[in-house]
C-alpha cells in the first residue's frame, strides 16, 4: 500500500494510569513521517494534512487488511488546526482543510471500525506553531472528548522541561475526568533525554499509556539504526517500566 507507514510499539511491567487502554502495544497509522506539516492543499491536494487524507487512510486500513491485523488507530499529527482558537477558547480545525470539522472525521473513522487519534502540545504552541494546550488543558481534553477522539499525542515544544513532570499528569487527570477513554501518548521523556538526563520512567508510566523517549523516525537507515541503538542501550532501564497499559514508543 503506497505512502502508508505504520507505528508499532515496544514492551516489558508496572502499575500505570487506570484508563483500561493499551493493554497490548497499540498499533495504527500516523501521518507525520510521510506527510509532515504539508498544508498546501491547493497545489498538493493528495498529500496535504486534511480530512480527505485521513478518510482515505481509514479506507485503506479497512479495505487492505490492516484493521483485521490489529492496526486500529488513524492518528492525526501536527498542523491540523487553525492558527487561532475560537471565540470560546476552543481549538478549531482549519476550516479549509477540514471543512466538516473533527467530529465529522471521527464519526467517519468510527464507521470503519477504527479509532481516531489527534495531536496537541503541552506548551504554548505546537512544534508547527499552532495553538498549544498550556493554560487550556481542561478545555482541550473536553473538546477532544466531545469530538469522539480515541487517542491523544501530547508533544512538548514551546515548554519548559521542568514543567513536564507536573503538566503531563495534569492532562492525564483532565482526560480521565471527561469520562471518555482516550489513549494517552506522551512525548515527555524524549525532551528529558535530549536535555541530557534520565527520565523518571516510573512517574511517566503512572501517567501515560505510551511514551516517546527518542527522536522522530525518518526515512533513512541511519535514523532507524539510531533508534535500535537507543533501545539496545536501554539507559535508565526504561524497558523494565513497560507492560499492559504503558509501553515505550520508538516512533512508528
Catalytic residues: 155, 216
The single residue listed with the C-alpha cell 500500500 is 1
User: Per-residue DSSP letters for 90-133?
Assistant: ---B-TTTSTTHHHHHHHHHHHTT-EEEEEEESSSB-TTSSB--
Residues 6+ apart with CB under 8 A from 146: 103
Q: What is the dihedral of CA 94, 122, 231, 247, to 10 degrees?
A: -90
Name the DSSP letter for residue 81: B
Integer-rounded Cα radius of gyration of the chain: 17
Dist. CA 86–CA 146, nearest whole Å: 15
Amino acid at each position: 500500500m503506497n505512502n502508508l507507514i505504520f507505528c508499532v510499539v515496544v514492551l516489558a511491567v508496572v502499575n500505570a494510569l487506570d484508563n483500561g487502554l493499551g493493554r497490548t502495544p497499540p498499533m495504527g497509522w500516523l501521518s507525520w513521517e510521510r506527510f509532515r506539516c504539508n498544508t498546501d492543499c491547493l497545489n498538493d491536494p493528495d498529500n496535504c494534512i486534511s480530512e480527505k487524507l485521513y478518510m482515505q487512510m481509514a479506507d485503506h486500513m479497512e479495505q487492505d487488511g490492516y484493521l483485521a491485523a490489529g492496526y486500529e488507530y488513524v492518528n492525526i499529527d501536527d498542523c491540523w488546526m487553525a492558527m487561532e482558537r475560537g471565540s470560546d477558547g476552543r481549538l478549531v480545525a482549519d476550516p479549509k482543510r477540514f471543512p466538516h470539522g473533527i467530529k465529522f472525521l471521527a464519526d467517519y473513522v468510527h464507521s470503519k471500525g477504527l479509532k481516531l487519534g489527534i495531536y496537541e502540545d503541552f506548551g504554548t504552541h505546537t512544534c508547527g506553531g499552532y495553538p498549544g494546550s498550556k493554560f487550556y488543558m481542561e478545555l482541550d481534553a473536553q473538546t477532544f472528548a466531545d469530538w469522539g477522539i480515541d487517542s491523544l499525542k501530547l508533544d512538548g515544544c514551546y515548554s519548559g522541561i521542568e514543567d513536564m513532570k507536573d503538566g503531563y499528569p495534569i492532562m492525564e487527570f483532565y482526560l480521565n475526568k471527561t469520562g471518555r477513554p482516550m489513549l494517552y501518548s506522551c512525548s515527555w521523556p524524549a525532551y528529558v533525554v535530549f536535555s541530557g538526563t534520565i527520565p523518571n520512567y516510573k512517574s511517566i508510566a503512572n501517567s501515560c499509556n505510551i511514551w516517546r523517549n527518542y527522536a522522530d523516525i525518518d526515512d533513512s537507515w541511519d535514523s532507524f539504526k539510531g533508534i535500535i541503538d537507543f533501545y539496545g542501550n536501554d539507559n535508565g532501564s526504561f524497558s523494565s517500566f513497560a507492560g499492559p497499559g504503558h509501553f515505550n514508543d520508538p516512533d512508528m
